[in-house]
A = this chain, B = another copy of it.
Amino acid sequence: MEEESKSLPSKDNFSEWYNELLMTAQIMDVRYPIKGVYVWYPFGFSIRKKVYNMLRNLLDVDHQETYFPMLIPKPELLKESEHIKGFEDEVYWVTHGGLSELEVPLALRPTSETAIYPMYKLWIRSHADLPLKLYQIVNTFRYETKHTRPLIRLREITSFKEAHTAHATWDDAEKQVHEAMDLYSEFFTKLAVPFIVHKRPEWDKFPGADYTMAFDTMMPDGKSLQVGTVHHLGTKFAKTYDITYEDEKGERQYVNQTCYGISERCIAAVIGIHGDNKGLVLPPNASQTQVVIIPIIFKKDDGGVKEACQKVKELLRANDIVAVIDDADERPGAKYYKWEMKGTPFRIEIGPRDIKNNSVMLVRRDGKKESIPMDGLPETVRNKLFEFQTDLLNAARDSMLARVKACETLDEAKQQIENGWATMPWCGEKACGLEMENAVNCKLLGEAHTIKGAGKCPICGKATDRIITMARSY
Protein backbone atom coordinates (compact mmCIF):
# COMPACT_ATOMS: atom_id res chain seq x y z
CA MET A 1 0.00 0.00 0.00
CA GLU A 2 2.66 2.49 -0.97
CA GLU A 3 1.46 5.98 -1.61
CA GLU A 4 2.04 7.53 -4.97
CA SER A 5 3.38 11.01 -5.53
CA LYS A 6 0.47 12.60 -7.20
CA SER A 7 -0.93 16.07 -7.01
CA LEU A 8 -4.52 16.84 -6.22
CA PRO A 9 -6.90 18.86 -8.35
CA SER A 10 -7.39 22.36 -6.94
CA LYS A 11 -9.82 22.55 -4.05
CA ASP A 12 -11.73 25.19 -6.02
CA ASN A 13 -13.11 22.23 -7.86
CA PHE A 14 -14.38 20.79 -4.60
CA SER A 15 -16.12 17.65 -5.73
CA GLU A 16 -13.21 16.44 -7.83
CA TRP A 17 -10.71 17.41 -5.12
CA TYR A 18 -12.70 15.51 -2.49
CA ASN A 19 -12.91 12.31 -4.49
CA GLU A 20 -9.23 12.38 -5.40
CA LEU A 21 -8.14 13.20 -1.87
CA LEU A 22 -10.03 10.25 -0.36
CA MET A 23 -8.07 7.88 -2.58
CA THR A 24 -4.69 9.64 -2.59
CA ALA A 25 -4.59 10.19 1.17
CA GLN A 26 -5.92 6.66 1.62
CA ILE A 27 -9.10 7.46 3.51
CA MET A 28 -11.62 5.43 1.53
CA ASP A 29 -11.18 3.12 -1.42
CA VAL A 30 -14.03 3.62 -3.87
CA ARG A 31 -13.30 0.53 -5.96
CA TYR A 32 -15.43 -1.94 -4.01
CA PRO A 33 -17.80 -3.66 -6.44
CA ILE A 34 -21.08 -2.30 -5.01
CA LYS A 35 -22.35 1.20 -5.75
CA GLY A 36 -22.36 3.43 -2.67
CA VAL A 37 -20.34 0.99 -0.58
CA TYR A 38 -16.74 1.87 0.20
CA VAL A 39 -13.74 0.44 2.02
CA TRP A 40 -11.93 2.18 4.87
CA TYR A 41 -8.21 2.23 4.27
CA PRO A 42 -6.32 1.58 7.53
CA PHE A 43 -5.18 5.20 7.59
CA GLY A 44 -8.72 6.46 7.11
CA PHE A 45 -9.87 4.13 9.83
CA SER A 46 -7.27 5.55 12.22
CA ILE A 47 -9.13 8.87 11.94
CA ARG A 48 -12.44 7.10 12.46
CA LYS A 49 -11.04 5.38 15.54
CA LYS A 50 -9.71 8.59 17.05
CA VAL A 51 -12.87 10.58 16.36
CA TYR A 52 -15.28 7.91 17.60
CA ASN A 53 -13.27 7.28 20.74
CA MET A 54 -13.67 10.97 21.47
CA LEU A 55 -17.41 10.65 20.88
CA ARG A 56 -17.57 7.56 23.12
CA ASN A 57 -15.76 9.38 25.91
CA LEU A 58 -18.28 12.21 25.77
CA LEU A 59 -21.23 9.82 25.79
CA ASP A 60 -19.91 7.45 28.44
CA VAL A 61 -20.24 10.15 31.09
CA ASP A 62 -23.95 9.38 31.39
CA HIS A 63 -24.91 6.95 28.63
CA GLN A 64 -24.28 3.23 28.40
CA GLU A 65 -23.07 1.60 25.20
CA THR A 66 -24.86 -1.47 23.95
CA TYR A 67 -25.68 -3.40 20.79
CA PHE A 68 -29.01 -4.28 19.20
CA PRO A 69 -29.48 -6.65 16.26
CA MET A 70 -28.91 -5.56 12.68
CA LEU A 71 -31.85 -7.55 11.31
CA ILE A 72 -35.40 -6.36 11.91
CA PRO A 73 -38.43 -8.56 11.18
CA LYS A 74 -40.75 -6.96 8.65
CA PRO A 75 -43.78 -6.74 10.99
CA GLU A 76 -41.76 -4.81 13.61
CA LEU A 77 -40.43 -2.40 11.00
CA LEU A 78 -43.90 -1.72 9.64
CA LYS A 79 -45.53 -1.12 13.02
CA GLU A 80 -44.89 2.62 13.16
CA SER A 81 -46.54 3.77 9.96
CA GLU A 82 -45.32 7.37 9.87
CA HIS A 83 -41.78 6.25 10.59
CA ILE A 84 -41.67 3.57 7.92
CA LYS A 85 -43.03 5.97 5.29
CA GLY A 86 -39.77 7.87 5.69
CA PHE A 87 -37.72 4.79 4.91
CA GLU A 88 -39.76 2.31 2.90
CA ASP A 89 -38.10 2.99 -0.45
CA GLU A 90 -34.68 2.69 1.11
CA VAL A 91 -34.84 -0.58 3.01
CA TYR A 92 -32.77 -3.58 1.98
CA TRP A 93 -34.59 -6.87 2.44
CA VAL A 94 -33.13 -10.26 3.26
CA THR A 95 -35.46 -12.85 1.79
CA HIS A 96 -33.37 -16.02 1.73
CA GLY A 97 -31.26 -18.02 4.17
CA GLY A 98 -29.12 -20.48 2.24
CA LEU A 99 -31.41 -21.79 -0.47
CA SER A 100 -34.62 -21.44 1.56
CA GLU A 101 -36.97 -18.52 1.41
CA LEU A 102 -37.48 -16.96 4.85
CA GLU A 103 -40.99 -17.01 6.25
CA VAL A 104 -40.60 -13.45 7.48
CA PRO A 105 -38.44 -11.08 5.41
CA LEU A 106 -35.79 -9.30 7.44
CA ALA A 107 -34.82 -5.66 6.97
CA LEU A 108 -31.26 -4.41 7.29
CA ARG A 109 -31.66 -1.64 9.89
CA PRO A 110 -31.95 1.78 8.24
CA THR A 111 -31.87 3.12 11.84
CA SER A 112 -32.73 1.19 14.98
CA GLU A 113 -35.90 2.56 16.57
CA THR A 114 -37.87 -0.49 15.51
CA ALA A 115 -35.20 -2.91 16.78
CA ILE A 116 -34.69 -1.15 20.10
CA TYR A 117 -38.13 -0.05 21.23
CA PRO A 118 -39.70 -3.52 21.51
CA MET A 119 -36.90 -4.23 24.01
CA TYR A 120 -37.50 -0.93 25.84
CA LYS A 121 -41.06 -2.14 26.34
CA LEU A 122 -39.60 -5.13 28.22
CA TRP A 123 -36.88 -3.24 30.05
CA ILE A 124 -38.81 -0.27 31.36
CA ARG A 125 -41.36 -0.92 34.08
CA SER A 126 -41.11 1.72 36.75
CA HIS A 127 -40.17 5.38 37.13
CA ALA A 128 -37.02 4.06 38.83
CA ASP A 129 -35.89 2.72 35.43
CA LEU A 130 -35.95 6.25 34.00
CA PRO A 131 -34.16 8.01 32.50
CA LEU A 132 -32.69 5.28 30.32
CA LYS A 133 -29.87 6.49 28.07
CA LEU A 134 -28.27 3.99 25.72
CA TYR A 135 -26.25 4.30 22.56
CA GLN A 136 -24.66 2.06 19.97
CA ILE A 137 -22.17 2.53 17.13
CA VAL A 138 -23.23 0.33 14.24
CA ASN A 139 -23.54 -0.15 10.51
CA THR A 140 -26.87 0.84 8.98
CA PHE A 141 -28.15 0.50 5.43
CA ARG A 142 -30.02 2.63 2.93
CA TYR A 143 -30.81 1.65 -0.61
CA GLU A 144 -29.85 5.11 -1.87
CA THR A 145 -31.07 5.91 -5.32
CA LYS A 146 -29.52 9.40 -5.31
CA HIS A 147 -25.92 9.97 -6.31
CA THR A 148 -23.76 8.26 -3.67
CA ARG A 149 -20.55 9.75 -2.28
CA PRO A 150 -17.98 8.33 0.18
CA LEU A 151 -18.60 9.29 3.84
CA ILE A 152 -21.58 11.43 2.80
CA ARG A 153 -24.26 9.43 1.01
CA LEU A 154 -23.82 5.72 1.51
CA ARG A 155 -25.59 2.46 1.11
CA GLU A 156 -23.69 1.08 4.09
CA ILE A 157 -23.23 3.72 6.77
CA THR A 158 -20.41 2.04 8.63
CA SER A 159 -20.27 4.26 11.71
CA PHE A 160 -23.70 5.32 12.86
CA LYS A 161 -23.70 6.43 16.50
CA GLU A 162 -27.31 6.41 17.61
CA ALA A 163 -28.46 7.25 21.13
CA HIS A 164 -31.94 6.40 22.39
CA THR A 165 -33.29 7.77 25.65
CA ALA A 166 -36.53 7.36 27.59
CA HIS A 167 -37.94 9.77 30.17
CA ALA A 168 -40.93 10.23 32.42
CA THR A 169 -42.26 13.45 30.92
CA TRP A 170 -42.21 15.45 27.71
CA ASP A 171 -40.26 18.17 29.54
CA ASP A 172 -37.66 15.69 30.77
CA ALA A 173 -37.19 14.55 27.18
CA GLU A 174 -36.88 18.15 26.06
CA LYS A 175 -34.18 18.68 28.67
CA GLN A 176 -32.39 15.67 27.18
CA VAL A 177 -32.65 17.23 23.72
CA HIS A 178 -30.73 20.20 25.08
CA GLU A 179 -28.16 18.00 26.82
CA ALA A 180 -27.61 16.11 23.57
CA MET A 181 -27.20 19.40 21.72
CA ASP A 182 -24.62 20.50 24.28
CA LEU A 183 -22.79 17.21 23.88
CA TYR A 184 -22.77 17.48 20.09
CA SER A 185 -21.63 21.10 20.30
CA GLU A 186 -18.66 20.01 22.36
CA PHE A 187 -17.93 17.16 19.96
CA PHE A 188 -17.94 19.32 16.82
CA THR A 189 -15.97 22.04 18.54
CA LYS A 190 -13.31 19.48 19.41
CA LEU A 191 -13.33 18.42 15.76
CA ALA A 192 -12.94 22.07 14.68
CA VAL A 193 -16.14 21.75 12.66
CA PRO A 194 -18.28 24.91 12.85
CA PHE A 195 -22.04 24.45 12.75
CA ILE A 196 -25.37 26.16 12.95
CA VAL A 197 -28.22 24.34 14.69
CA HIS A 198 -31.52 24.53 12.82
CA LYS A 199 -34.92 23.42 13.90
CA ARG A 200 -36.04 21.53 10.81
CA PRO A 201 -39.33 22.53 9.20
CA GLU A 202 -42.26 20.22 9.97
CA TRP A 203 -42.05 18.52 6.59
CA ASP A 204 -38.41 17.67 6.98
CA LYS A 205 -38.29 16.36 10.53
CA PHE A 206 -37.40 12.76 11.40
CA PRO A 207 -40.32 10.48 10.51
CA GLY A 208 -42.31 10.06 13.73
CA ALA A 209 -40.61 12.85 15.72
CA ASP A 210 -42.29 15.79 17.46
CA TYR A 211 -39.43 17.93 16.21
CA THR A 212 -35.87 17.67 14.92
CA MET A 213 -32.85 19.83 15.73
CA ALA A 214 -30.10 19.49 13.14
CA PHE A 215 -26.42 20.38 13.17
CA ASP A 216 -25.53 21.80 9.76
CA THR A 217 -22.09 22.71 8.57
CA MET A 218 -21.09 24.36 5.31
CA MET A 219 -18.87 22.61 2.82
CA PRO A 220 -16.41 24.61 0.67
CA ASP A 221 -18.86 24.64 -2.25
CA GLY A 222 -21.42 26.39 -0.04
CA LYS A 223 -23.67 23.36 0.27
CA SER A 224 -24.95 22.36 3.70
CA LEU A 225 -23.98 19.04 5.22
CA GLN A 226 -26.19 17.72 8.01
CA VAL A 227 -23.70 16.23 10.47
CA GLY A 228 -25.89 15.47 13.46
CA THR A 229 -29.55 15.39 14.46
CA VAL A 230 -31.41 15.36 17.76
CA HIS A 231 -35.06 14.30 17.77
CA HIS A 232 -37.77 14.74 20.36
CA LEU A 233 -39.99 11.71 19.82
CA GLY A 234 -42.67 12.57 22.38
CA THR A 235 -44.85 9.53 23.05
CA LYS A 236 -45.26 8.57 19.39
CA PHE A 237 -43.11 5.43 19.47
CA ALA A 238 -44.05 4.67 23.08
CA LYS A 239 -47.66 4.37 21.96
CA THR A 240 -46.81 2.18 18.97
CA TYR A 241 -44.49 -0.12 20.92
CA ASP A 242 -46.42 0.15 24.19
CA ILE A 243 -43.52 1.42 26.29
CA THR A 244 -44.92 2.41 29.67
CA TYR A 245 -43.77 2.89 33.25
CA GLU A 246 -45.52 2.96 36.58
CA ASP A 247 -45.30 6.44 38.07
CA GLU A 248 -44.98 7.33 41.77
CA LYS A 249 -48.76 7.09 42.16
CA GLY A 250 -48.84 3.60 40.70
CA GLU A 251 -50.36 4.70 37.40
CA ARG A 252 -49.13 3.55 34.01
CA GLN A 253 -47.76 6.28 31.78
CA TYR A 254 -46.18 6.30 28.34
CA VAL A 255 -42.50 7.22 28.31
CA ASN A 256 -41.26 10.22 26.36
CA GLN A 257 -38.31 9.55 24.13
CA THR A 258 -35.48 11.19 22.27
CA CYS A 259 -32.93 9.87 19.84
CA TYR A 260 -29.88 11.48 18.30
CA GLY A 261 -27.35 10.41 15.75
CA ILE A 262 -24.00 11.14 14.19
CA SER A 263 -22.44 9.28 11.27
CA GLU A 264 -19.12 9.30 9.42
CA ARG A 265 -20.31 12.53 7.82
CA CYS A 266 -18.52 14.16 10.75
CA ILE A 267 -15.29 12.94 9.16
CA ALA A 268 -16.37 14.15 5.72
CA ALA A 269 -16.83 17.57 7.31
CA VAL A 270 -13.34 17.60 8.83
CA ILE A 271 -11.83 16.56 5.52
CA GLY A 272 -13.87 18.91 3.36
CA ILE A 273 -13.61 21.98 5.55
CA HIS A 274 -9.94 21.89 6.51
CA GLY A 275 -8.18 20.17 3.62
CA ASP A 276 -6.17 22.16 1.09
CA ASN A 277 -4.45 21.66 -2.24
CA LYS A 278 -1.69 19.66 -0.55
CA GLY A 279 -4.09 17.20 1.06
CA LEU A 280 -5.73 16.63 4.40
CA VAL A 281 -5.43 19.06 7.29
CA LEU A 282 -6.36 17.26 10.49
CA PRO A 283 -7.16 19.02 13.74
CA PRO A 284 -4.95 17.43 16.44
CA ASN A 285 -8.02 15.80 18.02
CA ALA A 286 -8.77 13.88 14.83
CA SER A 287 -5.25 12.71 14.04
CA GLN A 288 -3.73 9.55 15.44
CA THR A 289 -0.30 11.16 14.99
CA GLN A 290 0.13 14.74 16.15
CA VAL A 291 3.76 15.25 15.22
CA VAL A 292 6.03 13.78 12.56
CA ILE A 293 9.74 14.26 13.17
CA ILE A 294 11.95 14.52 10.10
CA PRO A 295 15.71 14.20 10.49
CA ILE A 296 17.61 16.58 8.21
CA ILE A 297 20.90 14.87 7.46
CA PHE A 298 23.46 16.25 5.04
CA LYS A 299 26.30 13.76 5.23
CA LYS A 300 27.17 10.38 6.64
CA ASP A 301 28.10 11.73 10.04
CA ASP A 302 24.65 12.90 11.15
CA GLY A 303 25.99 15.17 13.90
CA GLY A 304 23.68 13.60 16.49
CA VAL A 305 20.51 14.26 14.48
CA LYS A 306 19.07 10.76 14.79
CA GLU A 307 19.70 10.72 18.50
CA ALA A 308 18.05 14.12 18.90
CA CYS A 309 15.00 12.92 16.92
CA GLN A 310 14.68 9.91 19.17
CA LYS A 311 14.93 12.09 22.25
CA VAL A 312 12.25 14.49 21.01
CA LYS A 313 9.95 11.61 20.15
CA GLU A 314 10.29 10.11 23.61
CA LEU A 315 9.83 13.47 25.30
CA LEU A 316 6.62 14.09 23.39
CA ARG A 317 5.27 10.58 23.90
CA ALA A 318 5.96 10.81 27.63
CA ASN A 319 3.63 13.81 27.53
CA ASP A 320 0.84 12.05 25.64
CA ILE A 321 1.63 13.65 22.31
CA VAL A 322 1.83 10.98 19.61
CA ALA A 323 5.01 11.57 17.61
CA VAL A 324 6.65 9.40 14.97
CA ILE A 325 10.03 9.67 13.26
CA ASP A 326 10.11 9.30 9.50
CA ASP A 327 13.59 7.90 8.91
CA ALA A 328 12.84 6.40 5.51
CA ASP A 329 15.59 6.67 2.92
CA GLU A 330 13.95 9.51 1.00
CA ARG A 331 14.55 13.20 0.42
CA PRO A 332 12.98 15.43 3.11
CA GLY A 333 10.80 16.99 0.40
CA ALA A 334 9.22 13.64 -0.43
CA LYS A 335 8.49 13.14 3.25
CA TYR A 336 6.93 16.59 3.60
CA TYR A 337 4.67 15.77 0.67
CA LYS A 338 3.57 12.49 2.21
CA TRP A 339 2.81 13.81 5.70
CA GLU A 340 1.11 16.90 4.34
CA MET A 341 -1.13 14.66 2.26
CA LYS A 342 -2.04 12.78 5.45
CA GLY A 343 -2.80 16.02 7.27
CA THR A 344 -0.46 15.47 10.23
CA PRO A 345 -0.85 18.66 12.30
CA PHE A 346 2.83 19.36 13.05
CA ARG A 347 6.15 18.56 11.45
CA ILE A 348 9.33 18.94 13.46
CA GLU A 349 12.53 19.19 11.44
CA ILE A 350 15.81 18.55 13.22
CA GLY A 351 19.15 19.22 11.54
CA PRO A 352 22.69 19.89 12.78
CA ARG A 353 22.04 23.64 13.04
CA ASP A 354 18.98 23.04 15.27
CA ILE A 355 21.06 20.85 17.55
CA LYS A 356 23.69 23.58 17.81
CA ASN A 357 20.97 26.08 18.74
CA ASN A 358 19.34 23.64 21.16
CA SER A 359 16.07 24.08 19.27
CA VAL A 360 13.88 22.43 16.65
CA MET A 361 12.00 23.77 13.64
CA LEU A 362 8.24 23.45 14.05
CA VAL A 363 6.06 23.61 10.94
CA ARG A 364 2.29 23.65 11.26
CA ARG A 365 0.30 21.88 8.57
CA ASP A 366 -0.96 25.28 7.44
CA GLY A 367 2.62 26.38 6.73
CA LYS A 368 3.41 28.55 9.78
CA LYS A 369 7.01 27.88 10.70
CA GLU A 370 9.07 28.82 13.74
CA SER A 371 12.11 27.71 15.67
CA ILE A 372 11.27 26.62 19.20
CA PRO A 373 13.68 25.89 22.05
CA MET A 374 14.29 22.39 23.35
CA ASP A 375 13.73 23.68 26.87
CA GLY A 376 10.10 23.07 27.75
CA LEU A 377 9.46 21.46 24.35
CA PRO A 378 6.47 19.25 25.31
CA GLU A 379 4.60 22.15 26.92
CA THR A 380 5.32 24.40 23.96
CA VAL A 381 4.13 21.76 21.51
CA ARG A 382 1.02 21.08 23.55
CA ASN A 383 0.14 24.78 23.67
CA LYS A 384 0.78 25.17 20.00
CA LEU A 385 -1.37 22.15 19.15
CA PHE A 386 -4.19 23.74 21.10
CA GLU A 387 -3.57 27.04 19.31
CA PHE A 388 -3.61 25.27 15.94
CA GLN A 389 -6.85 23.51 16.81
CA THR A 390 -8.40 26.85 17.81
CA ASP A 391 -7.09 28.62 14.71
CA LEU A 392 -8.61 25.94 12.49
CA LEU A 393 -11.98 26.24 14.17
CA ASN A 394 -11.97 30.03 14.10
CA ALA A 395 -10.94 30.22 10.47
CA ALA A 396 -13.60 27.69 9.49
CA ARG A 397 -16.27 29.47 11.52
CA ASP A 398 -15.37 32.84 10.04
CA SER A 399 -15.41 31.39 6.56
CA MET A 400 -18.82 29.82 7.15
CA LEU A 401 -20.40 32.89 8.71
CA ALA A 402 -19.04 35.11 5.95
CA ARG A 403 -21.02 33.01 3.52
CA VAL A 404 -24.34 33.23 5.37
CA LYS A 405 -26.18 36.29 4.08
CA ALA A 406 -29.54 37.86 4.83
CA CYS A 407 -31.40 38.21 1.55
CA GLU A 408 -34.40 40.34 0.72
CA THR A 409 -35.67 38.74 -2.45
CA LEU A 410 -35.91 35.20 -3.75
CA ASP A 411 -33.70 36.17 -6.68
CA GLU A 412 -31.05 37.40 -4.32
CA ALA A 413 -31.35 34.16 -2.33
CA LYS A 414 -31.00 32.14 -5.50
CA GLN A 415 -27.75 33.87 -6.27
CA GLN A 416 -26.51 33.67 -2.68
CA ILE A 417 -26.92 29.91 -2.39
CA GLU A 418 -24.53 29.41 -5.29
CA ASN A 419 -21.70 29.92 -2.80
CA GLY A 420 -23.27 29.90 0.63
CA TRP A 421 -26.49 30.09 2.57
CA ALA A 422 -29.26 32.65 2.38
CA THR A 423 -31.46 33.70 5.29
CA MET A 424 -34.90 35.20 4.77
CA PRO A 425 -38.05 35.98 6.70
CA TRP A 426 -40.69 33.25 6.52
CA CYS A 427 -44.24 33.36 7.82
CA GLY A 428 -44.09 29.79 9.10
CA GLU A 429 -46.70 28.34 6.72
CA LYS A 430 -45.73 25.09 5.02
CA ALA A 431 -47.20 26.21 1.68
CA CYS A 432 -45.01 29.31 1.65
CA GLY A 433 -41.98 27.30 2.72
CA LEU A 434 -42.40 24.77 -0.07
CA GLU A 435 -42.87 27.55 -2.58
CA MET A 436 -39.64 29.17 -1.37
CA GLU A 437 -37.83 25.86 -1.82
CA ASN A 438 -39.19 25.56 -5.34
CA ALA A 439 -38.50 29.13 -6.35
CA VAL A 440 -34.91 29.10 -5.09
CA ASN A 441 -34.27 25.42 -5.84
CA CYS A 442 -32.92 24.85 -2.37
CA LYS A 443 -33.73 23.25 0.94
CA LEU A 444 -35.04 25.17 3.92
CA LEU A 445 -32.71 24.11 6.73
CA GLY A 446 -35.00 25.64 9.31
CA GLU A 447 -34.76 28.33 11.94
CA ALA A 448 -31.65 28.92 14.04
CA HIS A 449 -31.54 30.48 17.53
CA THR A 450 -28.45 32.30 16.48
CA ILE A 451 -29.95 34.07 13.48
CA LYS A 452 -32.38 36.87 14.31
CA GLY A 453 -34.25 39.35 12.19
CA ALA A 454 -37.66 40.41 10.93
CA GLY A 455 -39.34 41.20 7.66
CA LYS A 456 -41.99 39.97 5.29
CA CYS A 457 -42.54 36.46 4.02
CA PRO A 458 -41.44 36.58 0.36
CA ILE A 459 -44.45 34.50 -0.69
CA CYS A 460 -47.49 35.75 1.23
CA GLY A 461 -46.06 39.09 2.36
CA LYS A 462 -47.04 38.59 6.01
CA ALA A 463 -44.85 40.39 8.55
CA THR A 464 -42.80 37.92 10.62
CA ASP A 465 -39.82 37.69 12.94
CA ARG A 466 -39.07 34.12 11.88
CA ILE A 467 -35.89 33.83 9.85
CA ILE A 468 -35.16 30.69 7.88
CA THR A 469 -31.92 29.45 6.36
CA MET A 470 -31.86 28.32 2.72
CA ALA A 471 -29.14 26.20 1.15
CA ARG A 472 -28.29 23.67 -1.44
CA SER A 473 -27.55 20.56 0.54
CA TYR A 474 -25.79 17.22 0.44
Residue interface bits A109-123, CB-to-B below 8 A is 1, else 0: 000000100110011
Selected from B37, B42, B73, B100, the residue in CB contact (under 8 A) with A34 is B73
Q: Kindly state whether residue A354 has any CB partner on chain B within 8 Å.
A: no
Q: Kindly state whether residue A311 has any CB partner on chain B within 8 Å.
A: no
Report how far A67 CA is from B95 CA in the complex, Å: 25
Beyond A2-B125, A2-B129, is A42–B94 a contact (Cβ under 8 Å)?
no
Beyond A41-B66, A64-B42, A156-B70, is A126–B2 a contact (Cβ under 8 Å)?
yes
Pick out which of these stretches binds chain B: A85-93, A210-218, A226-234, A422-430: A85-93
Selected from B34, B45, B89, the residue in CB contact (under 8 A) with A69 is B34
Beyond A96-B95, A143-B98, is A124–B90 a contact (Cβ under 8 Å)?
no
Q: Which DSSP category, helix, strand, loop or mixed, fits chain A's interface?
A: mixed
Beyond A33-B76, A123-B1, is A66–B42 a contact (Cβ under 8 Å)?
yes
Asked whether, in the complex, the Cβ of B1 is within 8 Å of the Cβ of A124, the reply is: yes
Q: Which residues of B contact A95 (CB under 8 A)?
A: 93-96
Copy number in the complex reads: 2
Q: Which residues of B contact A68 (CB under 8 A)?
A: 32, 39-40
Q: Which residues of B contact A33 (CB under 8 A)?
A: 73, 76, 118
Q: Could you tell me the distance in whole angstroms from the C-beta of A264 to the nearest C-beta in chain B?
A: 10
Interface set, chain A 16-51, CB cutoff 8 A to B: 29, 31-34, 37-42, 45-46, 48-49
Chain B CB count within 10 A is highest, among A88, A125, A138, A143, for: A143
Asked whether, in the complex, the Cβ of B108 is within 8 Å of the Cβ of A94, the reply is: yes
Q: Kindly state whether residue A97 has any CB partner on chain B within 8 Å.
A: yes
Q: Could you tell me the distance in whole angstroms from the C-beta of A267 to the nearest C-beta in chain B?
A: 12
* Size of A's binding interface in residues, CB under 8 A: 62
Q: Kindly state whether residue A65 has any CB partner on chain B within 8 Å.
A: yes
Asked whether, in the complex, the Cβ of B89 is within 8 Å of the Cβ of A39, the reply is: no
Q: Kindly state whether residue A58 has any CB partner on chain B within 8 Å.
A: no
Report how far A26 CA is from B32 CA in the complex, Å: 39
What are 30 A-B pairs with beta-carbon distances under 8 A? A1-B123, A1-B124, A1-B129, A2-B125, A2-B126, A31-B119, A31-B122, A32-B115, A33-B76, A33-B118, A34-B106, A39-B119, A40-B67, A41-B66, A42-B64, A45-B67, A46-B64, A69-B156, A70-B139, A70-B141, A71-B155, A88-B99, A89-B99, A90-B98, A91-B97, A92-B94, A92-B96, A94-B94, A95-B95, A95-B96
7 A-B pairs closest in CB distance: A97-B143, A42-B64, A89-B98, A93-B96, A40-B67, A45-B66, A37-B69
